[in-house]
Amino acid sequence: MFAEARDLGGAIDLPADIQRELRDLESRGDRISHYELLAVAADADGGDIRRAYLERSKRLHPDAWYRKEVGEFGPILSKWFQKLAVAYQALSDEESRAVYDRDHKSDLNPQDRVAVEKRELRVRDDERRQAERRARLLHTKGFARIGAARKLFEEALDHASKGERSQAIESLKAARELDPNRKEIAARLVDLERDQARARANSALASGKDREQNKLYPQAIAAYTAAFQLDPKSSAAAAGAARCSMENGDLQAASTWGQRAVELSPDDEDARLTLAEIFTAMNMKARAKAELNAILKKNPEHPEAKSLLKGL
């Protein structure tokens, strides 16, 4: 597509190296990993990833070339900046990064795969050492407990600022045990645990959708179930589990999930439609009709609901 710069007209004055880079990115398309796009090692920590994102933005953000005539490279810059932002989003949270690493390990280049494994080992190792240290600190006696709690609290803030949420939570838990009266410890812990549950639920949900798209139904059901356990209010997780259970031929489970999804979000037409389809498949016509009528009551023109109802 971009064999030579002159193919795009002579007016373009974007530097040759960035033209080359964009052409290279275009030719690799979706095969480029988040790590390669950000130009960081796959075992980089949160701070490195953020700095890499900002550095790379200086090259890929359209404003960096505002004064240049970029011609047809304009939309390409914009597209790759957006991909860069998506990569940064995915890797800047430890939960979504873990999911990305797990789901895309086989796509990574050998060097990055090794780095991811190395990092996983290091994280586990680090966690173990930190846990031991916390256990030791928890044995502190007397007034020194307050000081130990402060130390752990500061450590927690440091972990949190690097995006190491689970480490931060563990430190805070230990700090709270040492100094139960300090309110900011408890408050920060509540915040982080809520963030963690949300992030875990979101990444489980994303993983479920990804697998559902790839028709890996049993794995998708597992991910959706995990998402639902993490966030019992998630109708999207319940609806996903219902769809995949139906595809997987487990109608009993599908109807349980489907009813849960509808209860959680009675206005969700898609969830009701899925449930109606499940009931139809189970030959429970009256219940299927009830769901379809509920949809049509709110939206009399709903095409699929109308045609399904006709079929009954």
Partner 1 sequence: MGELVIGIDLGTTNSVVATVQGGVPTVIPNRSGYRITPSVVAMARNGKRLVGALARRQAVTNAERTVVAVKRLMGRRWTSKALQDTLARMPYTVVQGPHEDVRIVLGETQYSPPEISAMVLTELRLDAEAFFGEPVSKAVITCPAYFNDAQRNATKDAGRIAGLDVIRIINEPTSAALAYGFGRPQVEKQVAVFDLGGGTFDFTVLHMFKGVFEVEATGGDSLLGGEDFDSCIIDWLAEPFFTKHGIDLRKDKMSLQRLRDAAEKAKCELSNQKSVEINLPFISATQKTGPLHLQSSLTREQLESLTAELIARCLRVCEQVLGEAKVHAGALGEVLLVGGQTRMPKIQEAVKSLFGRDPSKAVNPDEAVALGAAIQGAMLLHEEQEMLLLDVTPHSLGIAIAGGFFQKIIPKNTTVPTSAHHVFTTVKDDQPSAKITVLQGESDLADDNELLGEFMLTGLRAAPRGTVDIDVIFDISADGIVSVSALDVQTGARQSITVTASSGLTEEEIQKAASANEDWMLGQKEDPEFQARKTKAEELFREFEVLWPKLTRAAQNGLGDDPLQRAQAALSVARLQVAQKESQGLAASIDRLERMLGALKGALDRGLGQEGR
Binding site for partner 1 (CB under 8 A): 50-51, 53-55, 57-58, 61-64, 66-67, 78, 81-82, 85, 157, 160-161, 184, 188, 191, 195, 267, 269, 298-299, 301-304, 307
Q: How many Å apart are CA 300 and CA 312, to the nearest integer? A: 17
- The answer for residues whose C-beta is within 8 angstroms of residue 265's C-beta and 6 or more apart is 235, 271
The Cα-based distances of 72 to 5, 57, 59, 61, 84 in angstroms read: 10, 19, 16, 15, 19
Nearest distance from residue 249's CB to partner 1, in Å? 26
**Alpha helix ranges (H) inside the chain:** 16-28, 34-38, 46-60, 73-92, 94-104, 110-138, 144-161, 165-178, 183-213, 217-230, 235-247, 251-264, 269-281, 285-298, 303-311
**Of 9 and 47, which has the nearer Cβ to partner 1?**
47
Using the minimum distance from each CB to partner 1, give the nearer residue, 66 or 143. Answer: 66
Shortest Å distance, C-beta 61 to partner 1: 6
Shortest distance, CB of residue 209 to partner 1, whole angstroms? 14
Nearest distance, CB of residue 268 and partner 1, angstroms: 10
CB of 26 to partner 1, least distance (A): 17
DSSP state of 20: H
Taking the C-alpha atoms of residue 308 and residue 178, their distance in angstroms, rounded to an integer, is 62
CB 50 to partner 1: min, Å: 7
- The residue (of 72 and 184) whose beta carbon lies closer to partner 1 is 184
In terms of CB distance, is 210 or 250 closer to partner 1? 210
Between 160 and 275, name the residue whose CB sits nearer to partner 1.
160
End-to-end CA distance of the chain: 52
Give residues with Cβ within 8 angstroms of 170, minimum separation 6.
Answer: 127, 130, 131, 134
- Closer residue to partner 1 in complex, CB, 1/286: 1
